[in-house]
Structure 1
Amino acid sequence: MRIGELSRRTGASQRSLRYDEEQGLLTPTRLPNGYRDYDEHTVTTVRRIQVLLSAGLGTSAVAEILPCAVDDGVVLSGRCPELIEGLAKERHRINAAIGDLITARDILDSLVGRPLRAQAVPSR
């Protein structure tokens, strides 16, 4: 399938698919006319990439994890136990960032003596 169809089927933009290729996450074949040609399995791979990126992982981590995924949901299922420690550290980093944000919010609330309501951010 060509890049446009892969984009439609996965919801990933063509630009992000080209970026994933540049990062070594996707390896399409090239047709004689230079067009990229993706096989059916690439749909699953792109969905895995999307899940991993949405978890806040960088493309280098995604490249390490992809070969270990065993299902459409990107469950590692013990295939690459060496990755578990790194993912646990990333989870700890995210939890620390959440804690810092909650602290910052609480400080803002204390400045006015009550919780502030969320307001729409004006466009620039």
Structure 2
Amino acid sequence: MAETETVQSPMQENCKAGPSKQELSVSIPCKQLAFGTEAIRHGGKDEINAEMINTLPCLEIVATNSVGVDKVDLAKCMQRNIVVVYTPDVLTDEVVDLAIAFMPDTLRHISAYDRYVRQGLW
């Protein structure tokens, strides 16, 4: 049976001396991110670009709560073996529900009539 070997980048070697695991929001300016940051929870607003990734030698995972990864530099993450996870199809059912709910409303002007009645104009 062959042995499994874990390969670390030179940047990850420096992490051993850094602080313990931390998770910081991307909204914190890049210069303020801690040296030992291993994970980023990304809200989708700011970009996780190559500059930010280069300042985080211990980074192992980027988790974004969005349906895409447009704001994450995937090429840089792949180069550094950083795992990127996201939430595809998280709102698909809800969007369909709303679209179907709006069909009769649009066809019969239910919301407009509701506002009209609530304003006492009938």
How high is the TM-score relative to the length of structure 1?
0.29
How high is the TM-score relative to the length of structure 2?
0.30
Higher Rg of the two aligned structures: 2
Of the two structures, which has the highest relative contact order with CA contacts closer than 8 Å and spacing of 6 or more? 2
Which has a greater percent of strand?
2
